[in-house]
Amino acid sequence: MLEIRDLRAGYGQSMVLNGVNLDIAHGTVTALLGRNGMGKTTLCRVLIGLLPMTSGTITLDNDSISHMAPHRLARRGLAYVPQGRSIFARFTVQENLDLGLSARGGRIPPHIFEWFPMLAELRGRRAGTLSGGEQQMLALARALVAEPSLLILDEPSEGLQPSRVTAIGDVLLRIVADKRVTVFLVEQNLALVRRVAAITAFLVDGVIAGGAAGRDLSPQSPLIQRYLGL
């Protein structure tokens, strides 16, 4: 579905991505693991058009999207949940969801409340009063109301209790099983990745250093020891 070839990008003179090659297969969860500062968020920013790449190509369903602007990428079906969620704390849950529709108009699809039943009950609440886990669910739902074909998640488990991380895993498995969305999951939570990802790649020093099937990644695996230092 998405092919990244020899992607280089950085900030000014300092290069962060030094030739990333990665495929994201349609209808899967593909995960990217990597330590702090390896460039995971930088890769997300390039994918959604917020940071220009220095060189390389990105192809979505055989069309080049290498230098597309963010709003066009959104129309092509890309959605992004940034690290730290960035929901609108003073707005209600419903208003946050409505903002997710602003790019395409229309109404909130009914399957959103099937995937996130707790949000139906919380519609009138200000987002800032929700728990961390509920806020992350809201951020996921807001990205999904526009019915993207590819959902890019930047460390959705960060700062959440284990039970909330499990709930996020449940939702990701459900949305992929419903065949509506492909997921690119950037994470440092190995347990979540092992549970949901079909394929896992490692980002090390700006290149993809290895890949493995999600379930094969035991904490004792040499890949984990080498690339996450666990």
Ligand X SMILES: Nc1ncnc2c1ncn2[C@@H]1O[C@H](COP(=O)(O)OP(=O)(O)OP(=O)(O)O)[C@@H](O)[C@H]1O
Interacting residue ranges for Mg ion, rule: CB under 5 A: 40-41, 83
- Rounded least distance, CB 19 to ligand X, Å: 15
Comparing CB distances to ligand X, the nearer of 16 and 53 is 16
Q: Pick from 1, 29, 33, 38: which binds ligand X (CB under 6 A)?
A: 38
* Residue recorded with tokens 């035991």: 218
Residue 13 touches ligand X, criterion: CB under 6 A: no
Torsion sign over Cα 210, 19, 33, 100: negative
How far is the C-alpha of 193 from the C-alpha of 30, rounded, in Å?
9
Q: Pick from 7, 9, 16, 119: which binds ligand X (CB under 6 A)?
A: 16
Helix or strand run (H / E) with residue 95? helix 93-100
Binding mask 136-175 for ligand X (x = CB under 6 A): ----------------------------------------
Residue 41 touches ligand X, criterion: CB under 6 A: yes
158-165: long-range pairs with CB below 8 Å, 24+: 158/83, 158/84, 158/188, 159/132, 160/132, 160/133, 160/136, 161/132, 161/133, 163/133, 164/131, 164/132, 164/133, 164/136, 165/189, 165/191, 165/192
- Rounded least distance, CB 48 to ligand X, Å: 13
Q: Is 23 helix (H, G, I), strand (E, B) or coil?
A: strand
Q: Pick from 40, 142, 164, 194: which binds ligand X (CB under 6 A)?
A: 40
Q: Pick from 7, 34, 138, 196: which binds ligand X (CB under 6 A)?
A: 34
The stretch among 39-47, 66-74, 85-93, 176-184 that binds ligand X (CB under 6 A) is 39-47
- Rounded least distance, CB 155 to ligand X, Å: 6
Which tokens is 197 given?
A: 């990802």
Residue 39 touches ligand X, criterion: CB under 6 A: yes
How far is the C-alpha of 2 from the C-alpha of 108, rounded, in Å?
26
Judging by beta carbons within 10 Å of its beta carbon (0-12, 13-18, 19+), is residue 168 exposed, middle or buried? buried
Comparing CB distances to ligand X, the nearer of 128 and 159 is 159
Comparing CB distances to ligand X, the nearer of 34 and 100 is 34
- Rounded least distance, CB 20 to ligand X, Å: 12
Q: What is the binding site for ligand X (CB under 6 A)?
A: 11, 16, 34, 36-42, 83
